[in-house]
Amino acid sequence: MSKVICIIDDDPIYQFLINKIIDNSKGNHEVMFFKNGKEALDYFTLDIAKNLPDIILLDLEMPVMDGWDFLKEIDKLHIDDTAIYIVSSSISDEDKRRAKKFPKIKGHFSKPINSNKIQEITKKIE
């Protein structure tokens, strides 16, 4: 059964690249994309039982609803089956400290993420 990976990032070039990396990684993965946290949250809450992905790769800096606001809102949904990873161009020490407030965050990666990291992440949910 395929695992669903959700990319929440406003950069279309990054979305294209990460999709290629996921396609080339070993595994059977379905990929969904959202350009900000609000789009993703709206989709997930349409049918929380069916629409939640297995993995979220979350950028922090986005328009409309950034990664931090998304994390605050998704925390209210009390979901446990979705692993969230921050993938950002810059993970500052302050961001790492702030991320510790969100137990759903399973890790931090700097862009660009590579196929080895994708395999590492997906093996954790198999």
Q: What is the mean pLDDT of residues 53-74?
A: 93
Q: What is the extent of the structural domain holding 43?
A: 10-89
On whether residue 97 sits in a domain, the answer given is no
The verdict on residue 116 lying in a domain is: no
Confirm whether 76 is domain-assigned.
yes
Say what the pLDDT of residue 71 is. 93
Read off the pLDDT band of 116 (50, 70, 90). Answer: confident
Put the strands of the sheet holding 105-110 in their side by side order.
Answer: 29-34, 3-8, 55-58, 83-88, 105-110
* CATH classification at residue 37: 3.40.50.2300
Q: How far is CA 117 from CA 21, 32, 50, 55, 77, in A?
A: 10, 18, 26, 13, 27
pLDDT of 42 over the 80 cut: yes
pLDDT at position 1 is 61
2 occurs within a structural domain: no
- Where is 14: in which H helix or E strand? helix 12-24
Average pLDDT, the chain: 87
Residue 89 pLDDT more than 90? Answer: no
Closest C-alpha among 72, 7, 56 to residue 35: 7
Closest-CA residue to 6 (of 71, 55, 39, 60): 55
Q: By the 8 A CB rule, do 97 and 68 touch?
A: no
For residue 45, being part of any structural domain is answered with: yes
In a domain, 94, yes or no: no
- Could you give the number of structural domains in the chain? 1
| DSSP alpha helix (H) spans, 25-100 | 37-46, 48-51, 67-75, 93-99
State pLDDT tens for residues 75-87: 888 787 899 999 9
